[in-house]
A and B are shown apart, each in its own frame.
Chain A
Amino acid sequence: MTASDAITIEQAAKRYGGLQAIAPMSLRIKKGEVVALIGPSGAGKSTLLNMLAAIELPDTGTILLDEKTTSLYRNPKDLAKKAGIIRQQFDLVGPLPVIHNVLAGKLADWGFWKSLWSFIFPQEKQAAMKALERVGLSDKIYDRTARLSGGEQQRVALARLLVQNPEVILADEPVSSLDPARAKDIIQILVSLAKSENKTLVASLHSLDLAKMHFDRVIALRDGQIFFDRKSDTITTEDLTQLYQLTEQKQNAT
């Protein structure tokens, strides 16, 4: 283990009842790496990301987040500084104005009274404004979040993550409900933000083009195991065909 590891997974496994979601696996992700996680549905991508975010703990083995085992992050406010997760746009509070959803990233730093006061008179507006500018939504700061389009809502979620400012950004299929143009746009913003702020990014994706185009390293999961783990420019079409091959066909072939 080197000092520059953001994430270290050592023989971590997770089981849901009879289903082996993650078979024992080991993995290292360095600080500042931009990693795409691909694989067919049910391969364990979400489970892995939830374990990295310490929302779930592995049954066996350990996951280190910045050299500290995830089970030791007792205080959610400390954890929020280490890792932040972005999912599909349904994670925002629809009836609230955009600015409150962005400032929700500050809740880890604020006490209750400050958040109550901010609910009436938004505090640290500069931080929210700056984040919204970076995702290109500064004109919608007081709009009702539910009125924004899917792509815009996902930008708001990105702005919240910017305000939260975690060391590791985890993205669980952040663009799966967007059209290809919006998806590309969001991924571009996400990757460029991670790179300019020197953050570690792990994003699960269904679009292989996006993974190859924007990410340095691609980790493919299949049946809870690492199928391959390579630099994105060395991945061939054949690798992908094998990865996504339906189980029925595989059985027929053998």
Chain B
Amino acid sequence: MKHTRFKIGFVRGSLLAAFLLMITSWMYIFSVEDADFLRLFSEKNKQFTIEFLQNLAGIGVENPAFTNAESWKSAAVLSFKTLVMSVMAVGFATLGMLLTVIPAASTAASGMLTLSRTRYGWFIYGFIRLFYTVSRAVPELLWAMIIILILKPGILPGAIALALHNFGILGKLCAETVEDMDIRPVRSLASSGASKPQIFLYGIFPTILPKFISYIVYRWEVIIRTTVVVGLVGAGGLGHEFKLSMSWFHYTEVALYLICYVILVFLVDLISEGMRKIAQR
């Protein structure tokens, strides 16, 4: 009888590796970095935290912002602007993605999807994919800083910055969806005499639509959270005012903006969840 040698294998190996990593990481944190968690909870830090929370809650503050109708009104306007910025951003990103996604799929470049190979197919594919990579490699914050240098601060540059970063991400995700598509229905449409636009309408569009929608609303969720980050560098909306209030020590305003922000994120999550359910019924 043949003797089978003991093999570690992939699952057992990765479990072992994870275990080793955990031990060495904690050892590094304690011995090399000399971390002291107790120091985080020192009397001084505790005092600061309590003071900050009291300021946020408006204890001992005359006329805190969140009891003031006027402040609520301006916060609501800001929230709406932020929402508009996020919708614009996801709209621009989607538009850019839709215009480029088909030639950015390798199945289209090789001629498998469109059933006709062109000499420049791979060239366009490489060009768009490079464009995607560059645009998503630069974070939203950097895009915002660059664009605000060119345009005036406001909602539009914020939306463009967010759109640029998300265009690269959406493009990659959606192009991969197109690549993973079953091409048998497409070939069959072609052999029953459908032209390219007809093939796109009847074969490709209905197949990829649910996935596209779920990617787009997912990126929208991310974008609404990131609006604050680009706001910090002057792109308008809640994030911008948040930063100003912070630097003027208007803590009750900070609290008000945080409340608005949480409501906004919650709202967008709710809508996107609903859209995803409809798309994948």
Question: What residues of chain A have their CB less than 8 Å away from a CB belonging to chain B?
Answer: 53, 55, 76-77, 79-81, 84-85, 87, 90-96, 100, 104-105, 107-108, 110, 112, 115-116, 119, 160, 164
Contacts and interface: CB of A to CB of B under 8 A. Distances in A.
B9 interface: no
A84 B29 CA distance: 69
A87 B189 CA distance: 12
B204 to A, nearest CB: 9
Contacts of A100: 202
B209 A95 contact: yes
A112 B185 CA distance: 19
B191 A55 contact: yes
Contact of A85 (B191, B201, B202, B209): B191
Contacts of B189: 93, 104, 107
A182 B201 CA distance: 31
A115 B193 contact: no
Nearest to A96: B206
B207 interface: yes
A242 to B, nearest CB: 34
Contacts of A79: 193
B188 interface: yes
Nearest to A81: B193
Q: Tell me if B's interface is mostly helix, strand, loop or mixed.
A: helix
Contact of B185 (A80, A93, A108): A93
Most buried by A among B185, B193, B210: B193
Contacts of B192: 80, 84, 104-105, 107-108, 160, 164
B193 A93 contact: no
Nearest to B200: A112
Contacts of B185: 90-94
Interface of B: 182, 184-185, 187-195, 197-198, 201-203, 206-207, 209-210
Contact of A107 (B184, B198, B206): B198
A108 B193 contact: yes
B275 to A, nearest CB: 16
Contacts of B202: 93, 96, 100, 104, 107, 115, 119
Contacts of B193: 76-77, 79-81, 107-108, 164
A157 to B, nearest CB: 8
Contacts of B210: 95
Nearest to B204: A93
Contacts of A115: 194, 198, 201-202
A93 B203 contact: yes
A84 B191 contact: yes
Contacts of A53: 191
Contact of A91 (B184, B201, B209): B184
A32 B182 CA distance: 34
Nearest to A164: B192
Contact of A108 (B188, B194, B206, B207): B194
Contacts of A104: 189, 192, 194, 202
A110 B199 CA distance: 12
Nearest to B195: A112
B198 A112 contact: yes
B210 to A, nearest CB: 7
Contacts of A77: 193, 195
Contacts of A80: 191-193
A111 to B, nearest CB: 9
Contacts of A84: 191-192
Contact of A76 (B190, B203, B209): B190
